[in-house]
Structure 1
């Protein structure tokens, strides 16, 4: 069974979660980059609006060949209770037919449920099957603590099954 983790991270916390999962799963990993400038107060505001509207954006890599993978993990921070524009764009561009998908979010304030639900609808519409989903709370946690929390989640959710 071949697996890959696809993720977007703007502040580094989702990156820590994705990299920790990749180590535990011994699988491939690919960071999706949003080519739109998202840092700074003004850009943060427009980024939140983009997420709320489920806007698409220019990403790198622009497309991915996922044919060799059976299971795809897709991770994103939660912005305004939504997945990020980069992940919305990624899902819409990838051929996910017949794939098993594990969705995850990182979140400061919400439970991530709304973002997970929206991603689930999108990946199912692309012909995939969601086999697991989870959120990682990040508020006031160091990167080291996030790594430990992710290791615990890996064991608790038995993610090696997927």
Structure 2
């Protein structure tokens, strides 16, 4: 099992699906997930309101503010988020581009009805290059089986 003192688990969730995945990942890693939250909360009822907000963020290249999290002590950061429009939410972009992650490794895990983690990787790799941190391939975390497979490197079978 990996050392836990230098590892953290952060997730962003609106509907609760990514939170559920983060809690499952946390059980495997023996970590307590920390929620990354927007300063202006996303709508949790009314899908069209959420779509309108994310459309505006994308169309106007807005990076929503978030409540800061202290990750200076970690070497490895598991980062969970939903995939929206085949890419990470703008909140994730803001977190990764404004948090000092230099020298750290970020392992993404995503939830989505139609997208895989591979669709988010080009965005994450671009932000990692600018922030001098490493992005690992990560995994899609829609089901317990996907999570177990995604964590197989940390927990060899």
- Structure 1 runs of 4+ aligned residues shifted over 3 Å read 50-54
Distance change in 2, residues 1:50/1:7 (3 Å): farther
Paired residues of 1:7 and 1:87 also in contact (CA < 8 A): no
Distance change in 2, residues 1:3/1:160 (3 Å): farther
Number of aligned positions between the proteins = 149
Structure 1 length-normalised TM? 0.79
Q: Which string of whole-angstrom CA distances, capped at 9 and with x for unpartnered residues, describes residues 111-138 of structure 1?
A: 24222321221123111012332223x4
Deviates more, 1:74-83 or 1:113-122: 113-122
Paired residues of 2:104 and 2:133 also in contact (CA < 8 A): yes
State the alpha-carbon separation in 1 of the partners of residues 42 and 108 from structure 2. 25
Query: Any gaps of 5 or more consecutive residues in structure 1?
Result: 139-145
State the alpha-carbon separation in 1 of the partners of residues 51 and 87 from structure 2. 14
Structure 2 length-normalised TM? 0.81
CA RMSD across the alignment: 2.2
Query: Any gaps of 5 or more consecutive residues in structure 2?
Result: none
Give the structure with the larger strand fraction.
1
